Structure 1
Amino acid sequence: MAVFLLVVIVTQQVATPGSTGGAVTPSSNAAGQTMAEKVARAQADDPMAWGDPKAPVVIVQWTDFRCPFCAAFAKDTLPTLFTQYIDTGKVRFELHDAALFGDQSVDAAVAARAAGAQGKYHEFMTALYAAAPDSGHPDLPKETLIGFAKTAGVPDMTAFAAALDDPALRKQVTDATASAQKLGVNSVPFFVVGNQVVNGAQPLMNFQSAIETELAKK
């Protein structure tokens, strides 16, 4: 259902949990833009995105910081994608919030954005996922989030702690989650690789295959 809704809504440009399974589903290209390009923020200074904004392939991931499969992807697959595709200018990778597992999921996404405001989004994400359990949803009280920020090297911890209660940041997360659900994203991790939907934390080779297919079109 998520795949169908995403394809339909994005193609028409109309502007809870995880799974290790899923599918890679190709979709048609409309108006010269891929599905990923249509939902991407495409901001050069985006702290939740990595890689050249003009890279030939865009990947959008919807994530929840309490999702064990999101953690598995971040630890087992994303580092290789950085080495092979993101750091080499072939892929632009964007994270979008889909805080589906309750208030602590929203709190964690707020904390990540607060770290990102100080240039430490990726480091915060890495610290949080490094501590994630192999299964189940971790307990993430604010004290734990502050600990991850310290591990990530967030320079101004006073500002970070204050930002955890920032209603504007919380609204950003809840709005992003609502947008994800409007697109039919109701499980995470969920990806769009160019014009292909990848549902779940699939093996590295599946992402490599999807990326290479998209690169071959350029």
Structure 2
Amino acid sequence: MSDSTRTPAPKRRNLAIGASVVAAALLFGWFSYTATKPETPAAASGSDKVAEVTRPEQAEQGQNDTYTQLAKLARRDAGDPLAQGPADAPVVMIEYADFKCGFCGKFARDTEPALVKKYVDAGKLRIEWRNFPIFGEESEAAARGAWAAGQQGRFWEFHAAAYADGAKEKGFGADRLKALAEEAGVADLDRFVRDADSKKAREAVSRDQEEAYGLGAASTPSFLINGRPIAGAQPAETFTQAIDEALAAAPRGKAAGEGAK
């Protein structure tokens, strides 16, 4: 089936959340550009970067409306093996990442564990992973392998193994992916191989990838925290500030984005 003859599922989802999609794409594209452009003296300090990443010069109300629409991209599927934290957590962080991305690995090793301990374990944050392979065939293969590990309840263990220091330098060929699955504790390795090469795996990865492209994401890692975009492996303070602000703004007893569907 030709890609040119169908409308990708993520694209249909983006269209469904309204006219703010265009603004969202522009906003996320701006964040991606900001995160990857050469650093200037004005952006040298961590506090300046927080302000630059989280507060672009746009009308506050329009920006908040866009965040509200983007927050609806959270799937909140209690059975999602590529997510952690309660489905009804007040804050959802969607992460678009690639296993061959060095900055994604840095975030996974240096920043994410503390966020899990502080917020996920307390029931305040849900992290939803989106496969966003942008570095070629091995990226695609690793994404499908991660999905396949998730089908046996070992996604986050595979995630840790694939992002271990020095892991990406060994590549993500077929034998290496099988070794990572074994390291992650995947019980049925034959099933893992079949699942990773299945149509369902390709469709799941494509869905996530197209969702990211539809938002204008141009680099990895990229994030949405209750709809607020953050691009790049920013300092930990950037994430804690965004999560704390989202917690303060979230309606009590109701997950962000609910009630406006």
TM-score by length of 2: 0.72
Paired with 2:192 and 2:102, the residues of 1 have a C-alpha distance of 25
1:42 correspondence with 2:76: yes
Residue of structure 2 equivalent to 1:79? 113
**Does structure 2 retain, via aligned residues, the 8 Å contact 1:43–1:53?**
yes
Which runs of no fewer than 5 residues in structure 2 stay unpaired? 1-13, 23-31, 40-48, 57-62, 251-261
- Report the count of equivalent residues: 207
Asked if structure 2 preserves the Cα contact closer than 8 Å seen for 1:66 and 1:138, the reply is no
1:57 equivalent among 91, 95, 118: 91
CA 172–43 in structure 1, closer or farther in 2 if over 3 Å, else same: same
Instruction: Give the superposition deviation at 1:124.
Output: 0.3
79, 87, 90: which one aligns with 2:124: 90
Relative to structure 1, is the Cα distance of residues 127 and 19 closer, same or farther in structure 2, using a 3 angstrom cutoff? farther
Aligned 8 A contact 1:60 1:93 in 2? yes
Which of 65, 81, 89 lines up with 1:29 in the alignment?
65
Query: Per the alignment, do residues 210 and 73 of structure 1 end up closer, same or farther by CA in structure 2, a change over 3 Å counting?
Result: same
- Helix, strand or coil for the counterpart of 1:28? helix
From the superposition, tell whether residues 58 and 12 of structure 1 become closer, same or farther in structure 2 (CA, over 3 Å): farther
Q: Does 1:152 align with 2:175?
A: no
Q: Which runs of 5+ in 1 are unaligned?
A: 1-7
Structure with greater Cα Rg: 2
Normalized per residue, which structure has more helix? 2
1:126–1:90 Cα change, 3 Å: same
Any conservation in 1 of the 2:97–2:131 contact (CA below 8 Å)?
Answer: yes
State the distance in 1 between where 2:70 and 2:154 align.
Answer: 24
Q: Deviations over 1:157-216 (max 9, x none)?
A: 111122222122112212321221111112110011124211100111110011111111
The answer to whether the 8 A contact 1:124-1:151 is kept is yes
Deviation track 1:100-141 (CA, whole Å, cap 9, x = no partner) reads 1111111101000100000000000000100446xx876210
**8 A Cα contact 2:20 2:69, kept in partner:** no
State the Cα distance separating 1:92 from its structure 2 match.
1.1
**Residue 183 of structure 1 pairs with residue 232 of structure 2:** no
Q: Tell me the SS of whatever aligns to 1:181.
A: helix
Paired position in structure 1 for 2:225: 193
Residues of 1 paired with 2:115 and 2:74: CA distance? 18
Partner of 2:162: 128
Q: TM-score, normalised by structure 1?
A: 0.85
Report the identity percentage.
35
- What is the distance in 2 between the residues matched to 1:192 and 1:63? 12
- In the aligned structure 2, how far is the partner of 1:43 from the partner of 1:98? 19
**Could you say which residue in structure 1 is the equivalent of 2:149?**
115
Distance 1:34 1:132 in 2: 38
Hey, what's the Cα distance between the residues in 2 that align with 1:188 and 1:137? 17
Mapped partners of 1:44, 1:13: distance in 2: 27
Instruction: Note the aligned Cα RMSD (angstroms).
Output: 2.8
Q: 2:173 aligns with which of 134, 141, 147?
A: 141
Q: Which stretch has the larger CA shift, 50-59 or 172-181?
A: 172-181
CA spacing shift, 1:196–1:138, aligned 2, 3 Å = farther
Deviation of 1:39 after TM superposition, in Å, equals 1.1
